[in-house]
Chains A and B, each alone.
Chain A
Amino acid sequence: MTNAPDRYERFVLPEGVSKVTRIKDTRITNAATFEVQREDHTLGNLIRMQLHRDPEVLFAGYKAPHPLEYKINFKVQARDTTNPETVFRRAIDAVDTEIADLRKAFTEELARPRDQGNFY
């Protein structure tokens, strides 16, 4: 009776759809839009904040265009010393490394005997 989309639509990439599409910006030099399918603010905000830390990035932003379109768009403009693809990949790698480091530190801390665990 309803036309609500299936819940899994939010995170299952349909067959024949590519995860990332690059759209070159025709008006701004060295800028591109990356359309990422089936991702949300979890990755959007994470990657955007990392792009902002990059001195070779002139502009970086993301948006979730519509709550029922399960994708996010990144708009990236890079300095002329590089290109949007490179900085975008660099941001992904940097976040990945940071999470890996955090995971390692967390595992090490777990292995250490707890000094105060009387929270519960």
Chain B
Amino acid sequence: MVYGRDCDVCDGDTQCEHCSVEFTLDVRCEGDSTLDVTTFDLQTSDETVEPADVAAARKAMEEDEKLLKGILIVKLRKNQEVKLRCLARKGIGKDHAKWNPAATAVFQFEPEIIINQQLMETLTEEQKQEWIDSSPTKVFDIDRATRQVQVVNAEAYAYDEEVIKKAEAMGFPGLVTISAREDSFIFTVEATGALKPETIVLNALDVLRMKLDGVRNGLTMALMEDPQMMNYQMNGG
């Protein structure tokens, strides 16, 4: 499928099968009770394209899970009917947010948490627990076997420094040192459901390379047109 503006067949009309997929809805309520018209009632013109929740439901059925309900479009009473035609087009999030497949994309530095175990051993069991509980997120816990305080989830640390303040307030400064590793990131991508997060990341990398390619080609062209490019060639660019 191509972007509507790149479509040569319909000349930017974005109505042909190369740059759009047609969905039709044709439902009539015959029974006495209200009929829920959902995304499951949409008929696609292209078997490879379907609403994201329909795809999810099919997958769930294959895995023999409970049948999911589609997203409600309209409710019909007896003898009411709905008939409509929808066009699905491809686009990018920069054009309109409706095409953005990512809900959140964030990175954080990986925290490096070092507990001063020697100092930690001078604390009582209650003090240890009190200190662990001072962290708003669950970063530390007591190891059941060794009774030592350990980092259970470094990623959960929100750089709030609550545990450092708590250690100082308890009279144990230097109990823990936390620094951000600047050469290691934790990148979190949350998808909206239209695409898988890993697909979004791979697409993003491909788009970046495409953009770089565009600039590289543009640079070559700009220098070719330029009579002053002799010195550029001689330096082997």
Contacts and interface: CB of A to CB of B under 8 A. Distances in A.
Interface in B178-220: 198, 201-202, 205-206, 208-209, 211-219
Contacts, number: 90
**Main SS of chain B's interface residues?**
helix
A89 B237 contact: yes
A19 B221 CA distance: 9
B63 to A, nearest CB: 15
Interface string A102-115: 11001100100000
A99 B203 CA distance: 12
A19 B217 contact: yes
Which applies to chain A's interface (DSSP): helix, strand, loop or mixed?
helix
Interface residues of B, number: 33
A43 B212 contact: yes
Q: Counting chain A CB atoms within 10 Å of each CB, which of B5, B202, B213, B215 scores highest?
A: B215
Given A43-B215, A89-B237, A110-B198, A7 B96 contact: yes
Given A19-B218, A20-B221, A34-B219, 8 more contacts: A12-B5, A36-B218, A42-B211, A43-B212, A47-B215, A85-B237, A106-B202, A110-B198
Closest 10 CB pairs of A and B: A19-B218, A20-B218, A86-B237, A103-B205, A20-B222, A85-B232, A20-B219, A96-B212, A92-B216, A7-B95
Interface of A: 7-8, 10-12, 18-22, 24, 34, 36-37, 39, 42-43, 46-47, 82-83, 85-86, 88-89, 92-93, 95-96, 99-100, 102-103, 106-107, 110
